[in-house]
Amino acid sequence: MSEKPIAEMSFEEAMGALEAVVTQLERGEVALEQSIALYERGAALKAHCAAKLKDAEEKVELIRAQEGRAVGTTPVEGL
């Protein structure tokens, strides 16, 4: 498992990795020791995915532009 650390994964990457782990485990072709390691990795991936999903906050801002460049933002309410 020489992939990038779970903490750096995007949601989609973590989700894909989690699915791969589940598939491997369900197919039951892995060695016993490896299945334990896979279980732990799966748990970590699941926690990472759940954290990403929890982080779902709406924030709407309006760009202030000058001559085609964004120079700041103004929060928008009530849209």
Partner 1 sequence: MDLFEDPPAQPGNQPEYTVSELSGAVKRVIEGEFGLVRVRGEVGRVSRPASGHLYFDLKDDRSVIAAISWKGQVAKMQTRPEEGMEVVATGRMTTFPGQSKYQLIVEDVAPAGAGALMAMLEKRRAALQAEGLFDPARKKPIPFLPGVIGVVTSPSGAVIRDILHRLRDRFPRRVLIWPVAVQGQACAPEVAAAIRGFNALPEGGAIPRPDLIIVARGGGSLEDLWGFNEEIVVRAAAASAIPLISAVGHETDTTLIDFASDRRAPTPTAAAEMAVPVRLELLAAVDGLGARIGTATVRGLGLRGQRLRDLSRALPRPETLTGTAAQRFDTAVQRLGGALGMAVARKRAAFEARGAGLRPEALRGLIARRGDRLEAQGARLLAALARRQERAVAAQDNWASRLAPALARLLARASGDIAVGRGRLDLLGQRLDAAPGRRLAQLAERLEATDRMRLTLGYRETLKRGYAVVRGDGAVVTGKADAERAAVLEIEFSDGRLVVGGGPAKPARGRKAGGPDQGSLF
Could you say whether residue 7 binds partner 1 (CB under 8 A)?
A: no
CB of 25 to partner 1, least distance (A): 4
CB of 32 to partner 1, least distance (A): 6
Size of site (CB under 8 A) for partner 1: 40
Per CB under 8 A, contacts with partner 1 among 35-74 are 35-36, 38-39, 42-43, 46, 49-50, 52-53, 56-63, 65, 68-70, 72-73
> Which residues, other chains included, contact 13 with Cβ-Cβ below 8 Å and sequence gap of 6+?
4
Exposure on the CB side of residue 26, measured as CA atoms within 13 A:
6
- Give the dihedral of Cα atoms 67, 68, 74, 77; nearest 10 deg: 130
CB of 6 to partner 1, least distance (A): 13
